[in-house]
Structure 1
Amino acid sequence: MYLAGAIAVVLAIHVSGGVSGGHLNPAYSLSMCLLGRFPWWKLPLYTLIQLVGSFAGAAAAFALYYDAIQDYTKGNLTIFGPRETASIFCSYPAPYLSIANGFLDQVMGTAMLLVGILAIVDSKNKPVPQGLEPIVVGMLVFSIGLSMGANCSYPINPTRDLGPRLFSAVAGWGLDVFRAGNNWWWVPVVAPCVGAVLGAILYQIFVEIHHPLAKDEEESPKEKEAQRGDMKEAQVFSISLDNPLSHRL
């Protein structure tokens, strides 16, 4: 399951990378807005499209495995019990998991995701070769799933969890998909956004601000303006020397 999800991320980034920059996660899009790398006005539109895409993906999976689900459940679509099938579509906490611990789980997982992505695409750090970014991001998602998926199946993406949850609510599982797990549904929506912002801040503090600046970035605007003025004076002086009248003088 974790491997299939990681491969899906790789393919999704390859498909959408040239159109949207590979924005599959509103938590990631939010952090890019805060870093000034993505316009704020696009955030609501991207989030809506990501939600619609997640809903459509859940609908496609339901259609593909409809007969299997009906055979397994005998037509009784449940959220709890040995034959529950709601977790096919979205996350639910383990019986032992509290809301607070689940929130922390999602904050940490998404923070790790953002730190990893920012490192992968940071040209001043040790970026991966161009074209391999989707594969390495997929490996990152796979590792987060393996190491942190036991508590609540590592949603780390608000729309990836909310879209399928909305679909399962209308497809037969009912509104209990929002009540289950002590009203768990809001945790994978809010916590990844908090984690993404935290991850972006941590990368800025511990890595990005320590990059050596390029020579032109080290100079202040006044110094650059003064240099441009000196260059203009030098050009004028050079022209005057090349003027035949100057030799006569």
Structure 2
Amino acid sequence: MSLVKKIVKRMKVKNELARQVMGEILGTFVLLLFGCAAAAQVKTSRETKGQFLSVNMAFSVGVMSAMYLCRAVSGAHLNPAVSLSFCVLGDLAWIKLLPYSLGQILGAYLASGLVYLIYHDAIMEFSGGILTVFGPNETASIFATYPTDVVSVQTNFLDQVVGTAMLMLCILPLNDKRNAPAPEALLPPIVATVVLGISMSMSANCGAAINPARDLGPRLFTFTAGWGTEVFTCVLY
């Protein structure tokens, strides 16, 4: 046995829940790294290196890649709403809901931090060195989603409920043995296509987050990285 294999064997995590949470951290990290990096590229290049569709497609590729990466370990929920649904359906123990959710948020936070490091120079040039949540040179929307100023809180709430419900309605039957389930190997691209469809059709009001971890993790990062408390209160114009 090679030295590398011996080291890997010794580092193997034996606790099942710990492995699952690590899987969710890594999977959500990959998802957000693709998506937020695409958003940074589009925003800082002023749409000369991609457009809004580029971000939608990048998030979808992130979903597919993350699912192939950690589905066998944790189920690749990547989303507290998905984990909650699985708890309600009895497919995930309720005791795992909080660790899963915290892992997903942490993965999103870490990915946002790496995107910030990669695109730091471009962000600073675009924003004039001022990290803001509003105005023509705002950069907060690279990381988290924000509602438009013409949409009411009630409509935004309905928007997210419908978007998340559509996600669950479309992906839960894929593994249902009583409903002509999709082949296991094709589940990631199918789910990615569903996410792409939702992103392309339900983004206008507030960005189609449909994932508390996808939004909260990056929002917490922007709060700690210098955008201030306005990341929790401000509406983009």
Which category describes the TM-score, using the shorter chain as reference length?
Answer: 0.7 to 0.9
Number of paired residues?
A: 182
Partner of 1:83: 137
Deviation at 1:142, TM superposition (A): 0.1
Is 2:48 aligned against 1:48?
Answer: no
Deviation at 1:122, TM superposition (A): 1.3
The structure whose Rg is larger is 1
User: In structure 2, the residue corresponding to 1:159 is in which secondary structure?
Assistant: helix
Partner of 2:178: 124
Which of the residues 8, 29, 32 maps onto 2:83? 29
User: In structure 1, the residue corresponding to 2:150 is in which secondary structure?
Assistant: coil
Identity %, equivalent residues: 47
Is 2:132 aligned against 1:66?
Answer: no
Structure 1: give runs of 5+ residues left out of the alignment.
Answer: 183-249
Partner of 1:19: 73
Partner of 1:102: 156
| 2:134 and 2:235 in contact (8 A); partners too | no
Deviation at 1:126, TM superposition (A): 2.5
- Aligned pairs for 1:55-204 (under 5 A) are 55-181=109-235
Deviations 1:115-159 (A, max 9, x none): 111121112112222201000000000000001011111000011
TM score, norm. by length of structure 2:
0.75
Q: Matches of 2:148 and 2:138 in 1, distance apart? A: 13
Q: Matches of 1:172 and 1:157 in 2, distance apart? A: 23
Q: Matches of 2:221 and 2:149 in 1, distance apart? A: 23
TM score, norm. by length of structure 1:
0.72
Partner of 1:10: 64
Q: Matches of 1:136 and 1:181 in 2, distance apart? A: 33
Runs of 4+ residues over 2 Å off in structure 1: none
